Each structure stands twice: as C-alpha cells, then as structure tokens.
Amino acid sequence: MYVHVIINPAAGGDSPILNRINDVFHPVGQRWNVDVTNEPGDGTRFAREAVARGADIVALYGGDGLVMEVANGLAGSGVPMAILPGGTANVMSVELNIPSDLTAACQLILDERHLLQTVDLGELAGHGAFVLRIGLGLEAEMVQNADREFKERFGSLAYALSALNALREGAVSRYQITVDGESFESEGLTCLICNSGSLGQGNFKIAPTISVSDGLLDVIVLRRAALGSLVDMINQVVRGDESSNETFDHWQGRTIEVVADPPQTVQLDGELIEIERLSVSVVPGALQIIVPAATSPDDEVMVELSDVSETLADDQEL
C-alpha cells in the first residue's frame, strides 16, 4: 500500500509534523511520500498527481481549506482520503469522528478495521467542489475577521469571537432562493448552503437532519439579526427540534440557487470568494474518507477498505 501525504506547513506551527508521521509509518515499513503546499490550489494539484502515480490513499495534514482542495483532486477517483487534522479548524474530522491527535490519525490509516465513508460533495459553478458549506453574510464575515494572528492567539475560539463581532455589525439581506426549481424568498443575517452540518465542536450541528451522505444539500437562513436568534437556534440544535421554528428557514434539495440583495460576503469552506449569484449542485458519493470502525456514524454507506483495495488492484491488472 502506498500512502501519499499532502501537508500545509502553516497548519503545524512548531510541531515536527514529518517526524511524527514517520514515527508511525517507518516501524511497520509503510511506504509513503509527501508534498508540501506553498500556494492556493496546490492541494488539488498534488492530489491529482498522487492518483496518477498510483497512490492507494491520499492523506492530508491541514485545516478545512486543504480538505476542500484535496477533495477537488480526489473526487470521482475512487482513491480514499485520510484526514490528519491540523490548522485552526477541521470540521470534517469532527463530523466523522476522526481522531484529533496526529499519531492516532496516522494509526487509523494502518488499522485494518477502519472503514470508508462515502461522502457527498457540493459543487459551486465556476469555483469547484466544497466539503462543508457555503456561507453568505454572518459566517463569511466571521471567517474574514478571524485573521491568522487572531486564530493563532485564540485557536478554534477565534471563530466564535468573530461571530459575535459580525453579529453586532451585520446587516439583513433579502435572499432569492431556488431549490430544485421551486422559488422562495427569505430575509436574514446569513444564508448557509450545507453539505455538512457540523459546527466543529462535539456533536453540535446546525440542524439534526443534515448529513454528508444523503445526496442532498441543506439551505439555512437565520432570519432575525439578534443575539437571541443564535441562542434560540442553539437551543433547537441541542433539542434536535425544528418543528416550531421562528428563528431560521430550512430547505433541502439537489440544486440550489441563491441571490442576496444587497450582495453579501461569501465563504467557501473557509475561503473568501467574490460572487453574486450562486448556482450549487450536489455530487452524491463523490468521495471516500477513512473513518474509525467503532464510531462510524452512517454504517449503511460504509465499506471495508480491503474490498476497495482489491477492486483497485483488479482494475490495474486489466
């Protein structure tokens, strides 16, 4: 088995990342190679090159931005992704119960009991795939305000502090939303187009019905621009109750279009982009990610890695 590792050096701080990975792989004779990112887009390019060179697994060490890039490179290839969590936030690793410790995450790759979870991707026309979500307004401003110095000082808390700042300064927009051809209007402080519902902290989700493996995207609009709205929303998330909701609108579908008036800042898996009309679609089952066997959340979409490896080997012999 050949494992190719893609590393974002900014995610590791002063930690000796290469040494820690090698401490797991070398004693068991695991063959691996590494690429180090230097500029935006490197993760996608390195992932595609690794697939072309016959990698059995492409692992990445970094945050949500690198997960998105590598997902773009692996989508549809059949080569599994392994996440070695790093950076300020790695929401997908929380969503899939992947160990936050680097050594444990490397050991998961070698664990014969691990499984693969089949994961959907979202596709934003003109910008490529995303793993987590698109955020307009509040969430994008939160990402914008959490600069590198702020994140280094406060870690994952930086995003929560930025959210409070954005909440005080945010303005309400009117959203024209089309879901599978049906049109809706809503007003709010933020609009989210979600593949993942995880907030990156424990089991908290934006809405309990959001799944990375259901073949659907979820659209959420936070309607009222007040701190109480967020408190209400958090309470509903904790209860898992959307039945009597006056705080946010929620739709599900396979194709989504959103226009904000006035236009708002947009973030795509933590990366700020400039766009006014969003055309989004789901790509069902586009990606496979290594997850622990004991804590896999969606057993119905799991397959043994050994089965995939045998299939890939058979394909290469043809």
**pLDDT, one tens digit for every residue, the chain (318 residues):** 999 999 999 886 667 899 999 999 999 999 999 999 999 999 999 999 999 999 999 999 999 899 999 999 999 999 999 999 887 678 899 999 999 999 999 999 999 999 999 999 999 999 999 999 999 987 777 666 655 444 444 455 444 444 555 555 567 889 999 999 999 999 988 899 999 988 776 667 788 889 999 999 999 998 764 445 555 555 555 455 554 456 789 999 999 999 999 888 899 988 888 898 999 999 999 999 999 996 544 443 444 444 444 444 444 444
What are the residue ranges spanned by the domains of the chain? 2-120+287-317, 128-282
Fold of 128-282: Tumour Suppressor Smad4 (2.60.200)
Measure the CA–CA gap between 6 and 60, rounded to whole angstroms: 5
CA distance 138 to 153: 22
Distance between CA atoms of residues 28 and 10, nearest Å:
28
pLDDT tens-digit map of 230-289: 555 555 554 555 544 567 899 999 999 999 998 888 999 888 888 989 999 999 999 999
The tokens for 162 are 């930025």
Which are the contacts of 158, defined by CB distance < 8 A and separation ≥ 6?
Answer: 88, 146, 150, 151
Tokens 């309990």 locate to 208
C-alpha span between 69 and 271 (Å, rounded): 11
- What are the percentages of helix, strand and coil residues in the chain, rounded to 5? 35, 35, 35
What's the whole-model pTM score?
A: 0.80
CATH topology of domain 2-120+287-317: Rossmann fold (3.40.50)
H or E element in which residue 60 lies: strand 57-62
**Long-range contact set of residues 40-45: C-beta below 8 Å, sequence gap at least 24:** 40/69, 40/271, 41/69, 42/6, 42/69, 43/6, 43/8, 43/68, 43/69, 43/70, 43/72, 43/73, 44/69, 44/70, 44/72, 44/73, 44/128, 45/73
Q: Alpha-carbon distance 86 to 122, whole Å?
A: 23
